[in-house]
Amino acid sequence: MIRLRATAAVLLLSIGVAACSSDSKSAATTSAAAATVAATDAPATTGVTDTSTVEDVVEIPATEPTTAATDAPTTEATEVATTQAATTTEAPTTTAAPKVLEVLVTNDDGYDAPGIDAVVEYLRTRPDVHVSVWAPLTNQSGAGDKSTPGGATNITDVMTKSGYPAKAVEGFPADSVNAAFASGYQPDLVVSGSNLGQNYGPLTVISGTVGAAATAARQGIFAVAISQGFPADGVDFDFPSSVAVLSAFLDAHIADYANGSGALLTSINVPTCPVGVAPLPTVSDVPLATGDNGRQLGAPTACDGNPATPADDIDAFDAGHPTIVELDVQTLGQAA
């Protein structure tokens, strides 16, 4: 009797699990199985338990395994997991480092002049440029864009006024640029100056500082010529003003030079104002003067704002404004 009850209990438990885990089992089958268990669990009337009969009655076919534990994840869950995995493994966005421009610095006053030294020392502080210096061995003011037939051959290693390595070229300012190119050096930008004295209006075509810049521009290299105006007697050239104007100009245009869209040749002239007087705002909307028109070329300026309405770059400079003019690389007149 004890064995029969244990077998019946196991059978009932199996049927219950099968009924809960399989929606495909019919109610009739479940009822019949329950009735069979109930019948075999009744007290025996003969006092003798027929073991073989009970085992025959309670033996039932094995039920199909429950599907709850083995069901595959839903499509939605799979998509969420896939999305999370893709998000986790997505590569971080990187930003390309800015291009460092190769800048050749030259002038017409010689490699040891104070103006070129001021420009070199400033450019060395910029993280977006690398500086190389190629300049005349001696002062070549007024040489324009003259060059030595066949190119200069006497080149020596020297130091600027502040001790920066330079190449001194025995020849004209244009020779310095050509010698740098002939050595295999290909700059992104040439800065010529800062010159001792303004190179505006009609003085543009005879300036060796402008001539060196033009030599580079004619070979497709961006170039800027910068000049510091003559001071009054007893006053030093204000090269810090040149540096300040050049710095603002490069901040505004160096990205253009990096991507190849800048102006090919630019001339900048900065006045040396009396002590305690600062230059007026920089102007770039006045034309290049074609004549002196009775004005004294190269004269110091009082930086007093006169004339109030400049007609050209000489007027603007005389009033105390630094001037910026884009030049034609061939004629050195104003660019169209």
Structure tokens at 277: 């007087």
Q: Does the pLDDT at position 23 exceed 50?
A: no
Q: Does residue 310 have a pLDDT over 70?
A: yes
pLDDT tens-digit map of 104-136: 999 999 999 999 999 999 999 999 999 999 999
Question: Is the model's pLDDT at 29 over the cut of 90?
Answer: no
Domain shared by 151 and 285, yes or no: yes
Q: What is the pLDDT of residues 41-99, one digit of tens each?
A: 444 434 434 444 334 434 444 444 444 444 444 445 444 444 454 444 555 566 667 78
Which residue range(s) make up the domain with 180? 101-326
17 & 140 share domain: no
What is the domain count for the chain? 2
Give a yes or no: residue 93 inside a domain. Answer: no
Angstrom CA distances, 8 to 46, 136, 177, 280, stand at 20, 114, 108, 109
Please give the residue that has the higher pLDDT: either 261 or 49. Answer: 261
Tell me: do 18 and 129 sit in the same domain: no
Write down which residue in 25, 53, 88 finishes a domain: 88
Domain end, chosen from 88, 120, 150, is at 88
Please indicate, yes or no, if residue 335 is contained in any of the structural domains. Answer: no
94: in domain:
no
**Average pLDDT taken over every residue of the chain:** 81
- Among residues 230, 195, 207, 204, the alpha carbon closest in space to that of 301 is found at 230
Find the helix or strand (DSSP H, E) in which 55 lies. helix 51-58
One domain for residues 84 and 107: no
How many Cβ atoms sit within 10 Å of the Cβ of residue 262?
19
195 part of a folded domain: yes
Of the listed ranges 69-73, 109-113, 154-158, 202-206, the least confidently predicted one is: 69-73
Domain boundary among 63, 88, 113: 88
CA distances, 97 to each of 202, 211, 285, 297 (Å): 42, 34, 34, 45
Query: For residue 142, what are its two tokens?
Result: 């007024």
What is the DSSP secondary structure assignment for residue 39, as one 8-state letter? H
Query: Are 226 and 139 in a shared domain?
Result: yes
Q: How far is CA 163 from CA 158, 196, 236, in A?
A: 9, 20, 22
Q: Give yes or no: residues 147 and 13 share one domain.
A: no
Averaged over 168-173, what is the pLDDT?
97
Is 79 within the bounds of a domain? yes
The packing angle between helices 27-40 and 51-58, to 10°, is 170
Number of helical H runs and strand E runs in the chain: 9, 8
The answer to whether residue 284 scores a pLDDT higher than 90 is yes
| Residues 322 and 284 occupy one common structural domain | yes
